[in-house]
Structure 1
Amino acid sequence: MKTIDIGILGLGTVGSGVVKILQDNAQKITDITGCKLNVKTVVVRDVTAKRNVDLTGIELTDDFTKLVTDDDIKIVVEVMGTVETARSYIKQLLNAKKHVVTANKDLIAQHGPELSELAKQNHCDLFYEASVAGGIPILRTIVNSFAADQVESVLGIVNGTTNFILTQMTQNGLSYAQALKLAQEKGFAEADPTNDVKGKDAAYKMIILTQFAFGKDITVDDVKLEGIDGVQLADINEAAQLGYTIKLLGIAKLIDDKLDVSVGPVLVPSSRPLAAIQNENNAVLVTGKAVGETMFYGPGAGELPTANSVLSDIIAVTKDIVLETTGSRFNGYVKNVALAPASDVIYPYYLSLVLPDKPGQMLKLTEIMAKQKASFNVIKQTGESQGTARISLVTHTMTEAQLNAIKAELKEMPEMQLLAAYKVLEG
């Protein structure tokens, strides 16, 4: 029986999970692939650190070159994090004819096309299923199950930290600061949660999903980005009274054959399944022209769920080695799609504002809206202290360009404070 040796870069949460699953499910993996998979070498920064995984028979080293120079190692798993260091290591590995599996979304979002081309030149596989939505096999599903369909939109909850925070605010009435602190205590948020709460982590995942679904390489500058750090408990409560739940959604959709990609808080009708996705879980909705809307749900992070996605890539590489079919791109779909202008992007919007509690203020707001040919669908006022009133409203559908013009006019009105302007997902 053929034995395929594996090297691993990094032995944190995901790296340890990969070793555990390979050990626990060795016989099943052998039955499926016809090969014995053996972890031979693991590269870490500190070889003296205590590990919570059995490393019997595995070489633990801080010398990366051992992975590059060992001809027996055919597959290397990169789960060390970082961007530039990981990029350098993976380039060396690919040039040494090693197949690479990574869970590094930041790296793939920024340098995926470059590394995929290098892998192809070296007839190597480069797979990264675990880079998006943890344990949900969404990338391979888009590649295989939607190969003959035209994807019209991909949207969903792709960051577990922000979903946990918003769930705690919605269900338990916690403030943003309280919910963030709880997420950090439970290990769902980093000590520095900036990338999560500012939406950058979700944006990186949407970059990868956009490439798979629409064949378009974009950068983070192409993603309209807003985080959850400005979401107030009052907006959560007002959305609930209107029949909505606020979620941080990544949305990539075709509009008249042009592409729009965004990440931000969105009001989701409480009747939709997406509104019921709680805490650290993720969900991705893919709408195809033929199949319609499908939803993929599961844990968005964690040792074993993410490691399971890594293992699916390892098994895919192993099958390619056996069949001698290595070197194909994970996703070969390429299409020249222009980005949609703001005048083509249409949604209802939720706005919340603080106005002076005196006559004529609602008239001024109405005039601003009317000037942009926008109108209210629902509007409500709640009392505020010190002579102000809080207004929340949902507009009829309008373009993003209209919204931008309204926001610009409100900026010129110092007595009016715009607190939130969020998309509303229609039912």
Structure 2
Amino acid sequence: MTGGKGLFYLNYALTHRMHAIAVSKGALVVEGKKLINLAHQHNKKLFFSGATAAALPTVDLFEYNLAGCQILEIEGVFTGTTNFILNDMLQHECAFAESLEKAQAKGIAEPNSSFDVDGWDTAAKITILANTVLGAEVKIQDIPRQGISHVTADHIRDWKKENLIPRLVGFIHIKNQQIQTGVELRLVPANHPFAHLQGSNKCIRVLTQEMGELVVSGGASAPLATAAAALKDFELMLKTGC
């Protein structure tokens, strides 16, 4: 991941004293922290809520609702594609390839789905959150990562017997000023907040020192939702007088 043209355009906008809105993850994964510093240097604002789970509030949650809080844990189901596939496999006890084909037919999964199903999309979002929200220096290639393509119908049947729900979870844990990150296929009990996610809905769970635990869910993956997230950033830009 190099950041591509998106990185060039964001650098250009900020160095020429323009506010910027980013939806693509690439530039933020590669140089998210530098871009934020560049925006501050020129007294401008970089908005990027659409790049970290789109319609699911993530960046805004930390910037506004949890401002000033000490973050202890961030965990979430950040990739709607993988959640749709796992939910479909749970419902129909079918093969991974069959559920993937359904996701592609609905426009939820890309024709080349490896970025999502191999955990790279979740790892990218974890990288952005760790570096921009927590000021870390996480590199995406260093994040331990699992995917879901190895899950079979037999796995699903066995997990259902034990009342366990599979979810692809990205996490950031902070302890003694050390940050641990990862993407893992996690089996959660049926009463867990992640277990209740339907379709391509997503979820974020944050544990703070001052406000305790906060869970936000929803934000199903869809092109309209991503566009709405970018529009929301534009509205915030106008309302905050940027």
8 Å Cα contact 1:284-1:296 kept in structure 2: yes
Per the TM alignment, residue 148 of structure 1 is displaced from its structure 2 partner at its CA by 2.6
What TM-score, normalized to structure 1? Answer: 0.54
Which deviates more, 85-94 or 302-311?
Answer: 302-311
Per the TM alignment, residue 161 of structure 1 is displaced from its structure 2 partner at its CA by 0.6
More strand by share: 1
Residue of structure 2 equivalent to 1:242:
162
Per the TM alignment, residue 212 of structure 1 is displaced from its structure 2 partner at its CA by 4.6
Gaps of 5+ in 2: none
More helix by share: 2
Residue identity matched to 2:9: Y
8 Å Cα contact 1:132-1:138 kept in structure 2: yes
CA distance in 2, matches of 1:186, 1:312: 25
Specify the SS of the correspondent of 2:203.
strand
Which deviates more, 298-307 or 160-169?
Answer: 298-307
1:93-104 aligned within 5 A: 93-104=13-24
1:279 corresponds to 2:199: yes
1:51-130 aligned within 5 A: 83-130=3-50
**Relative CO higher for 1 or 2, CA cutoff 8 Å, sep ≥ 6?**
2
Residue of structure 2 aligned with 1:227, choices 141, 147, 155 = 147
Specify the SS of the correspondent of 2:216.
strand
8 Å Cα contact 1:159-1:300 kept in structure 2: no
1:203 corresponds to 2:123: yes
Runs of 4 or more off by more than 6 Å in structure 1?
none
1:192 corresponds to 2:116: no
CA distance in 1, matches of 2:132, 2:205: 14
Specify the SS of the correspondent of 1:267.
strand
1:157-183 residue CA offsets vs partner (Å, 9 max, x unmatched):
100111111111111111011111111
CA distance in 2, matches of 1:171, 1:255: 38
CA distance in 2, matches of 1:187, 1:304: 12
Residue identity matched to 1:224: P
What TM-score, normalized to structure 2? Answer: 0.92
Specify the SS of the correspondent of 2:101.
helix
Which deviates more, 177-186 or 87-96?
Answer: 87-96
Per the TM alignment, residue 256 of structure 1 is displaced from its structure 2 partner at its CA by 4.2
1:207-237 residue CA offsets vs partner (Å, 9 max, x unmatched):
1222355331311123111111112222222
CA distance in 1, matches of 2:174, 2:217: 23
CA distance in 2, matches of 1:256, 1:238: 38
Computed over aligned residues only, the root mean square deviation of the Cα atoms, in angstroms, reads 1.8
Residue of structure 2 equivalent to 1:167:
87
8 Å Cα contact 2:119-2:147 kept in structure 1: yes
Specify the SS of the correspondent of 1:153.
strand
Residue of structure 2 equivalent to 1:307:
227
CA distance in 1, matches of 2:132, 2:3: 21
CA distance in 1, matches of 2:48, 2:137: 16
Residue of structure 2 equivalent to 1:319:
239
CA distance in 1, matches of 2:212, 2:222: 30
Per the TM alignment, residue 250 of structure 1 is displaced from its structure 2 partner at its CA by 0.5
Residue of structure 1 equivalent to 2:183:
263
Residue of structure 1 equivalent to 2:53:
133
8 Å Cα contact 1:143-1:212 kept in structure 2: no
8 Å Cα contact 1:154-1:209 kept in structure 2: no
1:126-161 residue CA offsets vs partner (Å, 9 max, x unmatched):
110111111122211112222232111111110011
Sequence identity percentage: 28
8 Å Cα contact 1:162-1:196 kept in structure 2: yes
Which has the greater radius of gyration?
Answer: 1
Which deviates more, 229-238 or 267-276?
Answer: 229-238
Residue of structure 1 equivalent to 2:74:
154
CA distance in 1, matches of 2:9, 2:117: 29
CA distance in 1, matches of 2:174, 2:156: 29
Specify the SS of the correspondent of 1:231.
coil
8 Å Cα contact 2:3-2:29 kept in structure 1: no
CA distance in 2, matches of 1:94, 1:254: 31
Specify the SS of the correspondent of 1:259.
strand
Gaps of 5+ in 1: 1-81, 327-427
Residue of structure 2 equivalent to 1:289:
209
- Judged with a 3 Å threshold, the aligned counterparts in structure 2 of structure 1 residues 214 and 99 are, in CA distance, closer, same or farther, namely closer
CA distance in 1, matches of 2:43, 2:210: 34
- Judged with a 3 Å threshold, the aligned counterparts in structure 2 of structure 1 residues 91 and 212 are, in CA distance, closer, same or farther, namely closer
CA distance in 2, matches of 1:210, 1:297: 20
